[in-house]
Structure formats: C-alpha cells, structure tokens
Structure 1
Amino acid sequence: MLNQEQKDEIHILWDELADFGAVHAEAACRHLQGRLCQMTGAFNATWDGATRLGTQPGGLGPFEGWRIPVTQLLHPIDSPRQSAGFKEIQGLWSRGVDAAPHLMLAMRNVGSFRAYGLRRDMPGEWFDGPFYRNHFACFGIMDSIWIGFPVSQHAESHFGFHSHATFGTRDVELLSYALRGIKWFHRQLMIIQGVLAARSSLTPTERKVLRLLLTSASEKEISEQLGLAVSTTHQHVVSLFRKFSVRSRAGLMSLWLGDPDHVGKI
C-alpha cells in the first residue's frame, strides 16, 4: 500500500499536468513519464495510443483489430540496432498478424484498467529465448511494466516503463495509482495525437497546426509561427476538420471540453 506521502507526491504531479493545458499535452506526457521514472527507478518510458479497427475481410487477427498508430518515447533511441529492434516490435502491432507472446499481455482484460509486465506475467523460460535477448536485453531492459487505460470502446492509452532491475509490488501500485485518476489527461493526449477522434492518424505538421488552432491564433498567425504559406496552413486546417469530423474550431474545442453529443458519435 502507498503511504500518504507517496500519494501526496502523485497529487502534486496531477496538479502539474493540469497546469500544462490541453495545447501542451505532449510536453505534459514527457513530464509525467519523467516524474514516474524518477519515482520507480525506470530509465525510459513509452506511451502508446491504441485504437481498434473495424472488422476486416480476413478476420480481426490475434490482436482483435487493435493497432498502435502513435508512440511517444521519453528518451529517443540513438543506437541503430536498438532502433531496429523497437521498430520491429511496432511492426508486429501494425501488421496485426504476428502475435509475439509478450504483446498478447496487452490483450488480457482489454477494455478495463490493468497493469501487466514482463517479470510479472511472462514465464521464466521466455527470458532465455531470442525475442527477449534481441528486443529487451539489448536495450538493457530487465523488466517492463505497462498500465492500460480504456478511454473509449475503441481506444486505449498505454504507458510503459522500462528498468534495469525488476519492478516491485510498490512500483506497480504507484504507477497504477498515478495513472488511474487522470482520465481527462489520457483523453487529451489521445485527441492531440489524433487517435481518439480522428478518422486517420495526424501528420507531424497537422499536430503542430492543431495545437495552435486551440489557441486564439489566426490562420495567418499560425502560418507565420510554423513558417508555412497561408494556403498550405488552410489545407492542413481543412484536413484536420475532416479527420475530426467537425466543421469549425468550435467543433474541435467541443472535443476537448468533452461534448457528449460529439464523443458519442466517435
């Protein structure tokens, strides 16, 4: 059980997240990842925005239609070998056909809040196999813990933490407590990345335009800030409205304000 001092530290972290505001959700995510790494001794963290696709002609596959179109790392991977291993894991999700055993952990109790991890859930012999050696040991990862948060019927937010040591029960309790009480933040992060409400993933430039659309900046001012032609900026705005199924900035704002009429149509 967490003591009151640990809970108070997390409550302060929640307040810090709120101070970032919706426009800076990605920076807030990095702040959250960094603080929770400090609290648990993890050396890196990931965030995955997961979405469930509709039924496919060939079936839903082992991931039941779930894909991870967006990932955010706290510390980027510089090593070419490690980067290749990370991209291979992401590729397994994007193809939705090769169900590596550790990836199936995310499918347990899908749709509910949950914690799952390597040392916590994988059998001992798995750590002697090539997949662990080539995709975790090469990063110096002894253990990983993920927290899954269902944001809607077809979207989930997953935070992962990676350590050179084995996570203890207290670490899992701390991560679960810290990430359970902030649905508003999971939702903001999913929207800014285009995972929750957009019909397709956003491009890096569209994300930049979206953040500024949520301010008082005009399209001309957005163009100047991003170094884009006004016509190009307008094309991005039109694309964003189409992807989010809205007709105006007011429609975008309604997503952040949690308009139940619009969210119910997602």
Structure 2
Amino acid sequence: MLGRIARFGANMHLVTDLTDPQNQEVYALWDQLADFSVGDSDAALTHLLSALRTMLSARNVLWGVLVRLPSPKRADPLLGWRPRLVRVLDPIPVVAASVQKQYETLWSNKVDLSQILSMSGDEPFRVRLLFEALPPEWFAGEHYRRHYLDVGFADSISVRIALNADVRIRLFVFRDGQSPRFTPQDAQRLGFAMRALRWFHREQLLSHGLLIANAPLTPAERKVLLALLDGHTEKHIAQKLDQSPNTTHFHVKAIYAKFGVSNRSALAALWLGKLR
C-alpha cells in the first residue's frame, strides 16, 4: 500500500486476500484519504463517509467524537462519556433533529440502553451489529421507533475507536427498511476499513484543536489553522478569509498558544506525530 501505510501498518491484525475486489476497494479508499491535504480535513471526512455509504449500500453515516468528562457524576450510566463533535453525511432536517434530541437526552435521566451499551467497555476497537448488541424487546421501544424508524432507518453497524483514554471516535452506518439487514461480513468489512484509520481520525481531531490543544479552536481559528497547514502565508490567509492582517496574526498566535508551539514548523510536526 501507498500513502499512510507506515502509520496504519501497526494497526493491521487481519489476514486478507490482497486480490479480493472488496479489499481492493478498501485499499483504494485508504490511498485516497492519504492524498488529501491536512488543510482539507472536512473534505476528507466527507469522502470517507460517502465511500462507506457506497461500500455498504447504506442510507446514511454518522461520525462523532466522544470525550470523557473530567469529573463525571457517580451514578452517571455513561461513565462520563459525551459527544464533542458530530458529523452526519446527509443531515436532512429529520435526522438532524433526531441527533439533537439524542444529545439532549444524554444529559438527562432518560438515557437509553443503546446509549449505555455504546459507551460501556474499554476495548480499543469494537464493531457491533445493532441486532446482535440489543435485546429483541428494545426494538419495540420508543428509542428505536423515534431515532430509527421515524427517520427512515432500520438497522446499523457501529464502530468505536479509542484514540486515547479520554477520546473515542464513534461511527454509525445506517440502512433503511427496504434493504436487508447488515451481516457479520458487512461488519467485518467495515471494521477492516476503519481499523487502519487511527491516523486519519487523529488528524481530524487535531484540526478541531482536540487531543493536543489546551482548548478547542474557535470556528475562526480553525479556518486560519487549515490555511496554515496548507502552506498559505498570513497575508494570503487574511485575503482569503476577508479579514485584516492584524486579525489573522492574532488568530495565528492564539493557535500556537493553544497547541503549545511557537512556529508553523512545530505546528505541522503535530500532524506527523513528532511532538507529544
């Protein structure tokens, strides 16, 4: 494999047929993601989610970042885990409303069994089929009706990837009721594709100021950061973002401070894994 093979080689644990067309499709996806500039992280994520939807004949895909609260309540059924970022490939209004409602529920006393099971466990990598993870009675309940059937979904595969002790990536691939249920082979294929992409998710989080930064980036800072990573000068960034050079310089200094670096070279080194 080309591209990021050095980064994900250590994560590979599956023995596969290199000539299998399905595996070739996964290898091509890895190379395509490796070809994206770090400044195009949003486009790269969209490409990943779109490719997974096509690969698994799915209806929609959701990608999210979970962070662990520093001081969770003793009786917290989610053990302190809460979403920090959520991205839906096709955020039609009914799906967006469902995601927002589930987010609000996580801070209430009405946490669903599916959410508890999703947060539980300390496995560094996990793939689950919906109909294997939950009991039959759950599918007659309100949560499945409200957040699956009412928004056009019937089945899902979930993937959870631990980036460190306090940050996890969670991905859901959904199918509708007109499609067959996901199979163990579908789950294995998705797991194969995702297991090698810890480097990709790390870059996604870095671009939002998570993992290493002292504080998450503001939307304005993130635009400047992505332009910096693409090699643009501060003058060009100011013109591109239609802001004054002083404003751009202020954002650059704030970015450096949040990442604990003093120059562009040290900032770029974070994406190469050369700095702690």
* Same fold, TM-score > 0.5, yes or no: yes
Separation in structure 2 between the aligned mates of residue 204 and residue 182 of structure 1, nearest angstrom: 25
Separation in structure 2 between the aligned mates of residue 246 and residue 62 of structure 1, nearest angstrom: 38
Normalization by structure 1: what TM-score? 0.88
- Kept after mapping to 2: 8 A contact 1:157/1:190: no
Aligned to 2:111: 99
- Kept after mapping to 1: 8 A contact 2:129/2:182: no
Letter in 1 for 2:205: M
Count of residue pairs the alignment pairs up = 257
Is 2:174 the partner of 1:159?
Answer: no
SS at match of 2:62: strand
Aligned to 1:32: 48
Separation in structure 1 between the aligned mates of residue 123 and residue 217 of structure 2, nearest angstrom: 24
Aligned to 2:96: 83
Aligned to 2:39: 23
1:53-202 → structure 2 map (5 Å cutoff): 53-56=69-72, 58-59=73-74, 61-79=76-94, 82-93=95-106, 95=107, 98-164=110-176, 165=179, 166-202=181-217
Letter in 1 for 2:90: H
Separation in structure 2 between the aligned mates of residue 77 and residue 60 of structure 1, nearest angstrom: 35
Separation in structure 2 between the aligned mates of residue 224 and residue 70 of structure 1, nearest angstrom: 29
Separation in structure 2 between the aligned mates of residue 196 and residue 22 of structure 1, nearest angstrom: 16
Deviates more, 1:160-169 or 1:196-205: 196-205
CA 1:174–1:145: 2 relative to 1, 3 Å: same
The root-mean-square deviation of aligned C-alpha atoms, in Å, is 2.1
Selected match of 1:8 from 3, 21, 24: 24
Separation in structure 2 between the aligned mates of residue 254 and residue 97 of structure 1, nearest angstrom: 43
CA 1:117–1:97: 2 relative to 1, 3 Å: farther
SS at match of 1:231: helix
Aligned to 2:228: 213
- Kept after mapping to 2: 8 A contact 1:2/1:173: no
Separation in structure 1 between the aligned mates of residue 246 and residue 165 of structure 2, nearest angstrom: 37
CA 1:200–1:89: 2 relative to 1, 3 Å: farther
Letter in 2 for 1:163: R
Letter in 1 for 2:267: L
**Cα shift at 1:232:** 2.2
Separation in structure 1 between the aligned mates of residue 16 and residue 151 of structure 2, nearest angstrom: 30
Percent identity for Structure 1 against Structure 2:
33
Aligned to 1:43: 59
- Kept after mapping to 2: 8 A contact 1:70/1:193: no
Is 2:257 the partner of 1:242?
Answer: yes
Letter in 1 for 2:199: W
CA deviations over 1:23-62 (Å, ceiling 9, x no partner): 2122111111111111111111111112223225x44822
- Kept after mapping to 2: 8 A contact 1:146/1:160: yes
Separation in structure 2 between the aligned mates of residue 15 and residue 96 of structure 1, nearest angstrom: 42
Aligned to 1:203: 218
CA deviations over 1:194-237 (Å, ceiling 9, x no partner): 22222333333222111011132122211110112222222322
CA deviations over 1:163-193 (Å, ceiling 9, x no partner): 1142111110110000001221121112112
Letter in 1 for 2:266: G
Normalization by structure 2: what TM-score? 0.85
- Kept after mapping to 2: 8 A contact 1:22/1:188: yes
Q: Which stretches in structure 1 are left out of the alignment for 5+ residues?
A: none
Separation in structure 1 between the aligned mates of residue 264 and residue 70 of structure 2, nearest angstrom: 28
